[in-house]
Chains A and B, each alone.
Chain A
């Protein structure tokens, strides 16, 4: 299982080294980095803007690859998201008009 995960991570990261083609632009973010960012912002939006229960929100933000570990601080109104030690993201609630922002 560990070998499989390592391979998956390496394959995803290696894909980030590919170059931009003339017609299509390639964006240099691997899937894990994107999943972590998505998890932080969407979880923050779901819990603090939509005000839905945390269980509902964890199901709602689930993305592929499903690797983001989410930590909700209801006092500070922040969400931290991480995966495989290396990748992390944080979102915080701003105010009643502007909701959450990904840091």
Chain B
């Protein structure tokens, strides 16, 4: 009897703490998405407002002005309720992710943690044999939080190329061996004390988890352990000549497959009733990180960051929420030129917008989210 009570005392709390996967009445879209656009089609005025904003081109294609939408998909209740493509794209075409890839790399880190091949507290030197000793205090979690403390200049084509760490890594001196290039940067801060958004950091994380996972899970582990499980058949992850996955910028997939990725997060990291991500991983991903709260960032990033996701948090440092007309719980994977995967748990919605916005008049997240939510009940 005593043994029974002891066992019960141990078992009951652990059961109570275990997170249960959300129950879905509709099947998960592993094979294909169910589609029902009847609800959105009846909301004529809201639909017109959305489409006028998202699909009205400005000037000629060569001028690259304004909003240039390639795909817009809205998922509600496990079904596609709105889907439209532009500029030659359709549901079969892969699209570049740019920095949406960072959120995917974050999720892949969760997969590796769940498989037991890495811990967030591990030093990067456990997996990167070429790292300098002064970089060894950097942990996997520091990378997840853009908090390695390594110097990095994240700028793009609108500034001097010679001062862009990203452009140099992708197309210049760093492109053949990106890991060595990233590790060549000096330490500027102690790990975990300063937020510095960095494609190099996401790439380094992708390489760390590759080194951790491949010996046990095989070289195609990203597909077998994540993309295939979600049915993301179109997923491509490009790499450098050494095999380092470009997990900060160069993932390609169809809009429907990006929606599956968002749907994984909408379902708290579960797919078909099974945890693909560790329990609590999604909560950590959508909570302002400790590094972010300590400092860093730029005025161009008035949005809190979790584990490589952007959040609609109204922190004291901001005058308002980043997307004031969107629910507080909305969070977003964001990529250059207007790539977004928006997750809105309180509305049971995922929004995927892919585009080619090249100037400052491109699509605004502030405008898109409320317009998209207005077409779903």
B220 within 8 A of A: yes
B6 within 8 A of A: no
B252–A34 touching, CB < 8 Å: no
B162–A96 touching, CB < 8 Å: no
Is the interface on chain A under 10, 10 to 19, 20 to 34, or 35 or more residues?
35 or more
Please report which residues of chain A, range 49-85, place their CB below 8 angstroms from some CB of chain B when the two chains form the complex: 49-53, 56, 59-60, 63-64
**Would you call the interface of chain B mostly helix, strand, loop, or mixed?**
loop
B161 within 8 A of A: yes
| CA gap between A37 and B175 in the complex, in Å | 9
Min Cβ gap A14→B in Å is 12
| CA gap between A60 and B161 in the complex, in Å | 19
When distances are taken between beta carbons in the complex, the residues of chain B under 8 Å from A56 are 87-88
Q: A15-B162, A49-B252, A103-B241 are in contact. Are A38 and B236 (CB under 8 A)?
A: no
| CA gap between A64 and B87 in the complex, in Å | 22
B171–A25 touching, CB < 8 Å: no
Min Cβ gap B360→A in Å is 16
When distances are taken between beta carbons in the complex, the residues of chain B under 8 Å from A24 are 153, 163
Q: A49-B252, A102-B175 are in contact. Are A26 and B238 (CB under 8 A)?
A: no
Is the interface on chain B under 10, 10 to 19, 20 to 34, or 35 or more residues?
35 or more
| CA gap between A63 and B240 in the complex, in Å | 21
A41 within 8 A of B: yes
When distances are taken between beta carbons in the complex, the residues of chain B under 8 Å from A33 are 171-172
Min Cβ gap B161→A in Å is 5
A100–B162 touching, CB < 8 Å: no
Partner of A100, one of B153, B167, B175, B238: B238
Q: List 22 A-B contacts (CB under 8 A).
A: A16-B162, A24-B163, A27-B167, A27-B168, A27-B173, A29-B167, A41-B175, A45-B96, A45-B252, A50-B94, A50-B95, A51-B93, A59-B61, A60-B356, A97-B235, A98-B236, A98-B239, A101-B238, A101-B241, A102-B170, A102-B171, A102-B175
B-binding residues in A (CB < 8 A): 15-16, 18, 24-31, 33-34, 37-38, 41, 45, 49-53, 56, 59-60, 63-64, 89, 94, 96-103
